Amino acid sequence: MADGVFLTFEGGEGAGKSTQVRRLAADLERSGIDVISTREPGGSPGAEDIRKLLVSGDVARWQPLTEVVLHYAARVEHVATVVRPALERGTWVICDRFHDSTIAYQGYGHGLEIELIDNLHQQLLDGFKPNLTMILDIPVDAGLARTGGRDGVEDRYERMDSEFHQRLRDGFLQIAAAEPERCVVIDAISSEDAVHRDVIACIKERLSIQLG
């Protein structure tokens, strides 16, 4: 059996990733593709426990390096227990955030060396990367305005200052420029339906598949 396809969505706060993950998974299922959707940090019981440490509480509760280690502890669990087993049985995996988020948030955002994060990824996960990454790009203010209603739950990163968010937005665009064969930037300021159409067009073009 062929391995499944590993797709990731990336982007800053309020870009609409979770909605697009859900809609794409539904379309793939309708087309007869066996697919699961998952997220990081989290996606497996242990990784969800670690997620709670990262997404809530005081903005400055962790050293940037501690954050990287926690994100990687969660990622190692998630990849070993959910992502790799699914791909090996031929199931497609759509993941809301992955390694690029660590590069963007902890690297470009917090200022940790990108090389350190890349080395960690290489050592811990053998450099395991998605087949295709869709980066939903939205201006910082517009994205943060959309997330305004989370009522203080899981909003630790949202509460970081707008310079932090600007750096990580630029970071995602640099990642896309450096790896154009894997990454596609999708303008996420337009309506949910318009973004979904762009996502489907991107999947068809990049993976040469028919859908629906």
Q: Which residues bind ligand TMP (CB under 6 A)?
A: 13, 39-41, 54-55, 71, 96-97, 101-102, 105-106, 157
Our CB check for ligand TMP shows the closer of 4 and 14 to be 14
Task: Indicate the residue among 92 and 172 with the shorter CB distance to ligand TMP.
Answer: 172
Three-state DSSP state, 31: coil
CB of 102 to ligand TMP, least distance (A): 3
What spatial distance separates the first Cα and last Cα of the chain, rounded to whole Å? 23
CA-to-CA distance for 207 and 212, rounded, in angstroms? 15
Q: What is the DSSP letter of 94?
A: E
Q: How far apart are CA 109 and CA 103, in angstroms?
A: 8
**Residue 9 main-chain phi, psi, to 5 deg:** -110, 140
Q: Which helix (H) or strand (E) segment is 142 a member of?
A: helix 140-146
Measured from the CB atom, the residue of 38 and 203 that comes closer to ligand TMP is: 38
Task: Quote the least distance from Cβ 147 to ligand TMP, whole Å.
Answer: 8
CB of 201 to ligand TMP, least distance (A): 23
Residue placing its CB nearer to ligand TMP in the complex, 91 or 147: 147
Smallest separation (angstroms) from ligand TMP to the CB of 1 = 29
